[in-house]
Amino acid sequence: MTTLTQIEKNIINQLQKAFPITQRPFKDAAESLQITEDDLIENIKNLMEKGIVTRFGPLFDIEKAGGKFCLCAVSVEENKWPEIAEKINAYPEVAHNYLRDHTYNLWFVLATETETKLSETLTLIEKNIGYPILALPKEREYFIGLHLEV
C-alpha cells in the first residue's frame, strides 16, 4: 500500500467530494487545504503520475446525455467460457466483461446509442453465442462513486 503525506491525504479526502467551478478553482480549493495554488497543482500532478489519482475533473453520467447501457449475464459451462467470451468481446458495443464465480459466470456491459440499437445488438450476440442472455438494465441508481477516507 502506498504511503501518503498528510497534505496528499487531505487533498484526496476533500477533492473526492467536490472541486469548485470558479475562475481560479485551485486557488479556492487550496485555501481550505491551507496550501498554495501551485502546491495543490503540483500535488495533484504528482498523485496522477504515481497512479494514485486516476481521474480529475468532471464526472459525467453519459447515459443521461443520451446513450443506452445494459448489464448482461450469461451462464456458460466451465470449459466453454473462453470461447464464448471471445465471441462476446469481439463486439465494439461491449464495454467490459468480467468472469464471475457463479452459475451466471460471464458479466458484460453493452453500450449503444439508442434503445433500438441495444435490443438489436442483444439479439445478435444471443444468436451468435447460442446462449440466452439475462438483460439487467439499470432501473434506478441509488449511488455511484466511492468515498475512501485516507
Residues acting as catalytic residues = 96
Describe the strand order of the beta sheet including 68-74 as a list of residue ranges. Answer: 106-112, 68-74, 134-136
- Regarding 138 and contact with other proteins (CB under 8 A), the answer is yes
- Regarding 49 and contact with other proteins (CB under 8 A), the answer is no
> 31, 91, 119, 122: which one contacts other proteins (CB under 8 A)?
91
Minimum distance, C-beta of residue 100 to other proteins, in the bound complex (Å):
4
Q: How far is CA 124 from CA 54, 127, 128, in A?
A: 34, 5, 6
- Pseudo-torsion of CA 85, 91, 94, 98, nearest 10°? 10
Span 67-86, contacts to other proteins by CB under 8 A: 67, 69, 71, 73, 85
- Per rule CB under 8 A, count of chain residues that contact other proteins: 81
Is 131 buried (19+), middle (13-18) or exposed (0-12) by CB count in 10 A?
middle
CA atoms within 13 A on the CB side of 111: 12
| CA–CA dist 28, 19 (Å, integer) | 9
In the block, residue with C-alpha cell 475562475? 23
> 34, 54, 77, 79: which one contacts other proteins (CB under 8 A)?
54
Minimum distance, C-beta of residue 14 to other proteins, in the bound complex (Å):
9
> 32, 83, 87, 113: which one contacts other proteins (CB under 8 A)?
113
- Regarding 131 and contact with other proteins (CB under 8 A), the answer is no
- Regarding 58 and contact with other proteins (CB under 8 A), the answer is yes
- Regarding 87 and contact with other proteins (CB under 8 A), the answer is no
Minimum distance, C-beta of residue 29 to other proteins, in the bound complex (Å):
10
